[in-house]
Amino acid sequence: DAGVTQSPTHLIKTRGQQVTLRCSPKSGHDTVSWYQQALGQGPQFIFQYYEEEERQRGNFPDRFSGHQFPNYSSELNVNALLLGDSALYLCASSLAGQAFQETQYFGPGTRLLVL
Amino acid sequence: AQSVTQLGSHVSVSEGALVLLRCNYSSSVPPYLFWYVQYPNQGLQLLLKYTSAATLVKGINGFEAEFKKSETSFHLTKPSAHMSDAAEYFCAVSPEGAQKLVFGQGTRLTINP
């Protein structure tokens, strides 16, 4: 049973560019959440997708956007990259329902470096 | 807003010694609490979770945590540390009605031979 997968594993971009990160959820899961983990800090919630719609959003600017596809996979897009966007981006999947008590399973992350 | 505070950004113990990682939460209602572990260059793995069924929660790899409402704490313990336990540990809360996890800053656990 495949767990959560993310691609690419590493990415280097320059300021002002745009980036797309991809995530495939654990088999049977229908909800995808994205987190940003800056170096030395805990992950910060970006947003969550369910039924191809953004269900909840954290305190991130509109430069961060996402999408969920009918097969439940998801993309995270970041426009106009800033140096401060350099971080590990984690995708987590879970089952819908009472999501606040559902376990979220994390992928290995995509490490983004903005120069 | 609900939050968690992890006391001690770095904890060092000897192999075979007790591991105690501290987590306090702020919440006006009983929250759902989680401990995750992150090994170098990897994602997060769930160790255990509290969902009000029992105050003492047993997890994987010999870890357990006790929910203490009077102290608003959810400390993680393991009786005997192993070298393979060296990692970053995160406490997280999932506020009721919210579709997200709120993480603490993390505690880096080092095991001395």
For range A74-87, the mean pLDDT: 98
- Answer left, alpha or beta for residue A108, where phi above 0 means left and psi between -120 and 50 means alpha: alpha
Instruction: Sort out which chain B residues have CB atoms less than 8 A from A4's CB and list them.
Output: 43
Is the pLDDT assigned to residue B100 strictly greater than 90? no
- What are B27-77's pLDDT values in tens digits? 766 678 999 999 988 889 999 998 877 889 999 999 999 999 889 999 999
Q: Which of B99, B102, B103, B107 to mutate to test the interface with A (most CBs of A within 10 A)?
A: B99
Condensed to tens digits (0 to 9), the pLDDT of residues A7-27 reads 999 999 999 999 999 999 999
Residue A4 at interface with chain B, using a CB cutoff of 8 Å:
yes
Contacts (Cβ under 8 Å, ≥6 apart) of A16: A80, A81
State whether residue A68 sits within 8 Å of chain B by CB: no
Task: Give the per-residue pLDDT at A36.
Answer: 98
Mean pLDDT of A58-86: 97
Which residues of chain B are within 8 Å of residue A90 when distances are taken between CB atoms? 43-44
Q: Which residues of B touch A40 (CB under 8 A)?
A: 106
Structure tokens at A72: 């439940």
Please tell me the predicted confidence (pLDDT) of residue A1: 64
Tens of pLDDT, residues A25-53: 999 899 999 999 999 899 999 999 999 99
Cβ atoms of A34 and A43 closer than 8 Å: no
pLDDT at A100 over 60: no
List residues bridging with A78 in a β-sheet.
Answer: A19, A64
pLDDT recorded at residue B45: 93
Compute the distance between CA of residue B68 and CA of residue B75 in angstroms, rounded to an integer: 9
Contacts of B11 (CB under 8 A, 6+ apart): B19, B20, B21, B107, B108, B109, B110
